Amino acid sequence: MNRLERAFELFDAYNRNAPEHLVYDGVDFPTEYFYAIKLYEWVKKLEPEASESLLLASRSQHIGRWEIARNSYPVGRVGYLKWRSDLGRFHAQKASEILESVGYEQDIVDRVRQIILKQRIKADGEVQTMENALCLVFLEFQYDDLIAKLSEEKMIDILRKTWAKMSDPGRNMALSLDYSEEGLSLIQKALKED
């Protein structure tokens, strides 16, 4: 087993500890393990020649996400942003520890950290690929569940923000996904000029 496979094995083992599960195609998955695999798959679709650093970052982007609960931060945007920032640093640190344990050089560890922390997002093609993939995972696997919980106005706002985060390759892939009738209608409303 090479070190990339070993890192994947350790990332996946960690994420299989997620307390929440979901069922996909009749199979039960720990949520963070499932989303890490799907994120990796989207990165590979978007960038078939993805660098080792990007592949490593995709598999560890949200490693251990359940360990820092959203409800441990204040309600509202400020609390949400602080939670996201702290989570990002946590993911980067956990990924770094695993990469170092399997013998990765510091330059690769640092690069994976940059991608996980989304540094220079619009200027760095790999970071943008990661952001596209994250948005696509949301649209493919989490979007319909959110529709049931939020108002149309809030969903349209979320969709517009999601669209703004993506570059053209991500948007093109997003338009190729199969959506529910309600999901497609909301996307059409979100993308329509006011």
Q: How far is CA 82 from CA 116, 161, 164, in A?
A: 16, 19, 21
The first and second tokens of residue 149, run together, are 């919980």
Percent of the chain whose pLDDT exceeds 70:
98
Q: Do 25 and 65 lie in a common domain?
A: yes
pLDDT recorded at residue 121? 84
pLDDT recorded at residue 193? 63
Say whether pLDDT at 157 is over 80.
Answer: yes
From 117, 147, 166, give the residue that closes a domain: 117
Q: Do 79 and 23 lie in a common domain?
A: yes
pLDDT recorded at residue 3? 96
Q: Do 135 and 54 lie in a common domain?
A: no
Average pLDDT over residues 167-189: 94
Q: Do 6 and 102 lie in a common domain?
A: yes
Q: Do 96 and 146 lie in a common domain?
A: no
Q: Where are the alpha helices (DSSP H) in 102-167?
A: 106-116, 125-137, 143-147, 152-165
Say whether pLDDT at 139 is over 80.
Answer: yes
Say whether pLDDT at 38 is over 50.
Answer: yes
The pLDDT tens digits for 39-77 are 999 999 999 999 999 999 999 999 999 999 999 999 998
Residue 194: pLDDT band with limits 50, 70, 90: very low
- Of residues 123, 124, 6, the one with CA closest to residue 56: 6
Say whether pLDDT at 164 is over 60.
Answer: yes
Q: How many domains does the chain have?
A: 2
Q: Do 66 and 140 lie in a common domain?
A: no
pLDDT recorded at residue 22? 95
pLDDT recorded at residue 122? 82
22, burial (CB in 10 Å: exposed 0-12, middle 13-18, buried 19+): middle
From 83, 117, 151, give the residue that closes a domain: 117
Percent of the chain whose pLDDT exceeds 90:
93
Q: Do 9 and 100 lie in a common domain?
A: yes
Q: Do 84 and 107 lie in a common domain?
A: yes
Q: Around Cβ 106, how many Cβ atoms within 10 Å?
A: 10
Please provide the average confidence, as pLDDT, over all residues in the chain.
94
Say whether pLDDT at 89 is over 50.
Answer: yes
Domain span at 143: 122-194
pLDDT recorded at residue 159? 96
Say whether pLDDT at 97 is over 70.
Answer: yes
- Continuous segment of H or E residues that includes residue 54: helix 52-60
From 90, 117, 144, give the residue that closes a domain: 117
How far, in Å, CA of 155 to CA of 192, rounded?
A: 14
